[in-house]
Amino acid sequence: MAERAQVTSVDAIETFRSALILYLAKAKPTLEEASSEVARTRQWLEHTQLTHWEGQMKTRKRALERAQAELFSARMSKIQDATSVQELALHRAQRSIREAEDKLRIIRRWIKELENRTTPMVKLIEQLHGFMGTDLAKAVIHLGEIVKTLQAYASVSGGGSPAPLPVPSAPVETPAPKTKRKVDGRTNFMSLAGSRSRLAAVSKELGLHWQQTKSYWRDEKAQEFENRYMEELLARVDKTVGVLEKLDEILNRVRKDCE
């Protein structure tokens, strides 16, 4: 014999369904912007910065050649003061070359390392995004079907079921603002700390909504929903929040090293 539904407020389930839809509308773009930020940093590194410093190397080599020629001319003219000035200019040009060489070496190293270090993390972010787009989309449909079934039962029973109870609203946390900063005067980068905070905040809010909903929905179907969707979601979110923190550290290091 099928277990009797233990629901004291159909409105509570419908309210949670609406909260889940809103959650997906907030969380999925947050994950997308995090993945995009990794791609933007790779593009900046492989094209903008590599091209910039390769150009700097050419310009500084020409400056070194001019300094060498001017020092040679000064020595040929046997003017001591001029020779000292040109020697200083040559030393500055040589230091400038070494700076460009060091920067190019760092950029090329990061080009090799960045993809290897970030690809597994981006994959985990994409897996959570896929879970939201498939499993949680099915969860929304499933909740809608449950609500329709319970409403149909209530109309047939002629009011035999308990009246819906008021559903309190979960406290709303204000997500951290999107943080952008200038890099090299041209590219705007967003800190993943903002993405991490937003994902954690909206997920916590959804978890509170679910805890409230369980007060009005206590049966086997509710437990199945929790096991299949909510526990899996929150476990994935916990991992992804940690990944976003590590990604933010890596991207900040890349930008600092390669500016």
Cα-to-chain-centroid distance, residue 204? 17
φ, ψ at 238 (rounded to 5°): -55, -45
Question: What are the boundaries of each domain within the chain?
Answer: 10-258
Distance of alpha carbon 85 from alpha carbon 117, whole angstroms: 47
Per-residue model confidence as pLDDT tens digits over 207-237: 999 999 999 999 999 999 999 999 999 999 9
Class of domain 10-258: mainly alpha
Q: pTM score, two decimals?
A: 0.79
Provide mean pLDDT across the span 139-168. Answer: 72
Q: Encoding tokens for residue 162?
A: 């308990």
φ, ψ at 7 (rounded to 5°): -125, 120
253 Cβ neighbours under 8 A, 6+ residues apart? none
